[in-house]
Structures are given as C-alpha cells and as structure tokens.
Amino acid sequence: MTVQTEIQNETPSKLSVQHVSKRFRSGGRVVHALADVSLEVGEGEFICLVGPSGCGKSTLLNIIAGLETADEGRVFTGGAPITHPGRDRMVMFQESALFPWLDVLDNVLFGLALKPGLSKAERVEVAQFYLKLVGLEKFARSYIHELSGGMKQRVALARALAPNPRVLLMDEPFAALDALTREQLYGDLQRIWQEHRKTIVFVTHNVREAACLGDRVALFSPHPGRITAQFRVGLPRPRDLNSVELARHATEITAALKGTTVPAEEFAI
Amino acid sequence: MNRTLRAALFFVVAIAAWELLFRAGIWSPVLVPSPLTVGRYLGEALIDGTLWDATLVTMRRLLLGYLFGIALGLPLGLFTARYRLLGDTLGLVALGLQTLPSVCWVPLALLWFGQTESAMFFVVVMGTLWSMIIATDNGVRNVPPIYARAARTMGSSGVHIWVKVMLPASLPFIVSGMKQGWAFAWRSLMAAEIYVTILSGFGLGNLLHYGRELNAMEQVIGIMLVIIVIGLLADKILFSPWERFLHRRWGTAR
C-alpha cells in the first residue's frame, strides 16, 4: 500500500440504525436512554443529532462507535452489523482525549500504527498530510498541554481522519471552545468534508451549529430518548453561521425542539 | 533577594546560633558538641573513607531493595486495578501492610534471614512494595476513561491498551508512589541498620549506632546530617522535578 492510495478517499459508508433501544440503571431507577430509534444515514451524508442533554444522542453515537451495545435492535455500517469499535468508524470526543505523553505527530500516528500494511515512513507521511489538512503541520513536535483548545480539537480531527475511516462520529467536539474558534472550525470541517467525503454523525445541543453543518438534522427528545423530527437543510456550502437564511432554519428547528409546533413534515425543508 | 541566597543565609545564621549556644556552656560539650567538632568529624570520616564506604553500602542496599520493590509493585498494582478479584484481595493486603510502619518488619526479617544482607533487602522491599502497588493501582483508577475509549476506537485493545495507554496515563501517580516508596524504604533501612549489625557491610545506620555506643555525639549528629542531606537530595533532584514535569504535561497538576 502506498501513501497515495492510503489517503485516497475511502468510500463513505451507509449507516443503518434499526430499532435500537438502550436502558441504563442509575441510582435504583431505570433510565430509558433510547427507545426504538431507527435512522438511515446515506453514504457521505452529514447528519446532526440535536437535543437536550440526556436525550440519548450521545448514547446512540457510542453504540454506532461500538463502545456500547444496544439492548435491542442493531446498527449496520455498509451492510455489516456493528459489534465492537473499528477503524472504519472513528470518534472525536468533546474533550480532545489526546494523549498528553505523546507529541502531536505521535498522537496522530497512534491509530495509524495499529493499521497494517504501511511502513513507518509512510505512516509519518500520512500523519503529516492530515496535520497539514488541519493547518497544524508546524506543531508536529509540540506537546498537548502547549496547545490551545481549538488546536487540540484540530489535532483530534487529524487523528480521527488519519486511519481513513468511512464514518466519522463527532460528540459535541466544539462545545468547549470559544465562539470565534468554533466558527473557524465550522469552516474547516465543511471544507475537509467536501474534499474527503465521510459519512459524519455529529452530536450537538447547539441548533445553529447543526443547521450550519448538517445536510440533515435529527431532533431527539428525552425520557425516553427518541427521534421526534427530521429536517433537511438545503443551503449551499460553505455555510456562514451568521447568514440570515441559516438563522431562519435554526429558528424553525428550535421551535420544533421546544415542541411548540405543528407536525414536523410541515417544517421539513 | 535571591531564594538560594536567602536559604544559604538562613543556614549560616542557624549554625552561628548553634555555635553560640555551645559557647554559652549551658550543656555539657559531650551532649552538645560545637558545629566545628561535627565538621571536623565529617572531614576526617571523609578522608579516611569510612563515611564514603558507609554511604556506598547503604545506597547499595537501598537501591537493590527499592528497584526490586518497584519492579514487583508496578505490575502487581496494574493487576489489582485490572482484576477485581486481585483488587479485593491483594489490594486490601497492600493497603493493610502499607499502614504497618516498615521498621516492624525488622524482627521478622532477623528471625527469617539472620544477620545477613537478605534481611536488609527484605526490609527495604517491604518498605517499597506496598506503597508502589497502591500508587500504581490508584494511578490506573484515576486515568480518565476517555483515554481508553479513544484508544479502543483506534483499534487498541488488550495488552496494547495497557502498555501504550493505561501505563503512561498513570505515570504521574506512579512517580508519586515511587517517591513515597523511596521515603519508606529509606526509613526502614535506617531503622534496620541501627538495629542490626551485619558484618558484610557497615552502613550509615551502623555508624550512627556506634556513635551512640562510643558516646561520640559529633558522630551521631554528623551522620544524622548526612542522612538528612541524602534524603533532601533524592527529593529535590530525583523526584520533585519529575513529579512537577509529569503533572504539568499530563494536565494533572494540583
């Protein structure tokens, strides 16, 4: 395998969530985190899962990642059922989850090192390609504690992209960042997604963020966690978080989220 | 004023006060020797080699037992953190034995091993082992779960995740445990050396003991000073810089 074939786009994968339920026992009572949730995500689609905290959207993401198992129902990627974590589905967490004992380059190499078929030099080349993609090639030898919050999440993005997954799972990756940094990252993420098509499942509680990034937005409601409405956002890319059009979409989604609206179909755009 | 200079000045004043007390003649010079007498003893002991030899003997005993204790305690601590059964059994034993002052091992070591190097080795290992197990166990339990989750999504599992993630992630705690283990080992070795005469080597504790036998207070105080200085150096040069560095980089600074 060469570096070129390695960083060529892997076909993004179709995701199919079928009747997934999940319950947790917490402090003597049962929390119904997910109740019969079904969701189809197309190849290379960018879908945002939006809802208040505790609505089960992160649980669904973890099940897709293979970090948790569903009590009922199944999830398929590209036709194969998900049973455990795999490099075809990489995860980006809210905290960077980068390893502080490794420098930036070695963090990006961590997942690559476990991928067979590449020599050490080729891995380094692949890692540097992704560091460049997120604009951090000059920081390859920096340590994590020397980076700002935004830079950390860029490294995390590079690390998630490096093994060339078919699905990218993002769990509120920008929630802890300041507004300015976040807007920059929206731009970068859209650019990267357009260049390197991945199927992206993006969990957030920020409606504007969801409208800015997603092809589609799925609304979750808690107790029990389920999908109550879905919206298609047809705005051209790259999208500007501050555009009036985007604000209009966000307002409609917010209204639906608060349950103050007529059935979802009327708002589907 | 420079901090080093300030500290140096403090010690000069302290020694001067000691000298003044000595000259005031309140206590017998046999019980409170002058700093000059202590200094002369240390100088002579250095020149004739007794001090150097004793320090070597003591450090060799300490290092052997200490390194063995760490080499044994580290994997055991990983196991007690990994396997609930071991945590509930060996972990509890470690916690109990850590509370036992390590000098309490000396009578047992003497009965088992006699007046031999093995007895010293055993006492130092007992001083190190338990706190190493507890520190490693504690370190692993304090690793943010997100590290393991992230590693699993990148295809890491089993031994790989333990060696490449859990172990380095808990390093700040492990080094703190090593520092504590060092302190315990040092104390237990001194106790053992004062308690037991072993013909195969004459350590600092032995010198201290003979200082008492000979009523040579300058020797007692001089050796005590050497023991203090070694302890200080180990902390200031070996452990504290490492600890600070790790906690800062790992983001676990308190």
Q: Which amino acid is at A82?
A: I
Q: How far is CA A194 from its chain centroid?
A: 15
B155 contacts on A by Cβ (under 8 Å): 85-87, 111, 114-115, 163
* Listed residue (A41, A9, A1, A3) closest to A166, CA to CA: A9
Structure tokens at A80: 């194969």
Flag whether residue B248 sits within 8 Å of chain A, measured between CB atoms. Answer: yes
Enumerate the domain spans of chain A: 3-99+167-267
Q: What is the mean pLDDT of residues A76-105?
A: 89
Alpha carbon separation from B13 to B4, B7, B20, B218 (Å, rounded): 14, 10, 10, 20
Contact A114 B248 (CB under 8 A): no
With CB atoms and an 8 Å threshold, state whether B168 touches A145.
Answer: no
Residue of B nearest to A67 (CA): B149
Spatial neighbors of B251 by CB under 8 A, at least 6 apart, are A100, A144, A145
Answer whether A152 touches B (CB < 8 Å). no
Cβ-based contacts of A163 with chain B (< 8 Å): 154-155
The predicted pLDDT at position B101 comes to 87
ipTM of predicted assembly, 2 dp = 0.86
Q: Which residues of B touch A159 (CB under 8 A)?
A: 154
Contact state of B154 with A101 under an 8 Å Cβ cutoff: no
Give the chain B residue nearest A112 (alpha carbons).
B154
Residue of B nearest to A106 (CA): B164
Q: Is A91 an 8 Å CB contact of chain B?
A: yes
Instruction: Please tell me if residue A24 touches chain B, with a CB cutoff of 8 Å.
Output: no
The reported pLDDT for the residue numbered A267 is 42
**Cβ-based neighbour number of residue B204 at 10 Å:** 25
Task: Give phi and psi for A36, each to the nearest 5.
Answer: 50, 55
Which pLDDT does position B254 carry in this prediction? Answer: 55
Q: Tens place of pLDDT for every residue, chain B, 254 residues?
A: 688 899 999 999 999 999 998 888 888 888 889 999 999 999 999 999 999 999 999 999 999 999 999 999 999 999 999 999 999 999 999 999 988 988 889 899 989 998 889 999 999 999 999 999 999 999 999 999 999 999 999 988 889 999 999 999 999 989 988 998 999 999 989 988 988 877 778 899 999 999 988 989 999 999 999 999 999 999 889 898 898 888 888 877 65
Q: What is the pLDDT of residue B202?
A: 87
Which residue in chain A is spatially nearest to B147 when comparing CA positions?
Answer: A97
> What spatial distance separates the first Cα and last Cα of chain A, rounded to whole Å?
43
**Among A101, A110, A143, beta carbon nearest to B154:** A110
The pair of structure tokens assigned to B20 is 């003044």
Inter-chain CB pairs, A–B, below 8 Å: 61
- Looking at residue B253, its pLDDT comes to 65
CB atoms A163 and B154 under 8 Å: yes
**Domain A3-99+167-267: which CATH class?**
alpha beta
Asked if residue A223 has pLDDT above 90, the reply is no
What CATH code would you report for B33-249? 1.10.3720.10
Q: What mean pLDDT is reported for chain A?
A: 87
Q: Does any CB of chain B come closer than 8 Å to the CB of residue A29?
A: no
Minimal Cα distance from B171: which residue of A?
A101
Contact criterion met (CB < 8 Å) for A101 and B152: no
The per-residue pLDDT for A261 is 43
Q: How far is B175 from chain A (nearest CA, A)?
A: 14
Three-state DSSP class for residue B68: helix
Would you say residue A268 has pLDDT above 50? no
Q: Would you call A148 an interface residue with chain B, using a CB distance cutoff of 8 Å?
A: no
> What are A85's two structure tokens?
């974590």
Per-residue pLDDT at A1: 59
Q: What is the pLDDT of residues A235-256, one digit of tens each?
A: 888 888 888 888 888 888 888 8
Q: Which pLDDT score is estimated for A262?
A: 42
Among chain A residues, CA nearest to B168: A101
- Nearest by CB to B248, from A91, A101, A145: name it: A145
Chain B segment 166-195 residues within 8 A of A by beta carbon are 168-169, 171
pLDDT digits (tens, 9 = 90+) for A2-60: 777 777 777 788 889 999 999 888 778 888 888 889 999 988 899 999 988 778 888 99
Chain A residues with CB under 8 Å of B154 CB are 87, 90, 110-111, 114, 159, 163
Residues in Cβ contact with A174 at an 8 Å cutoff, skipping those fewer than 6 apart: A153, A181, A182, A185, A186, A204, A209
- Find which of B152, B154, B249 to mutate to test the A interface (most A CBs within 10 Å of its CB): B154
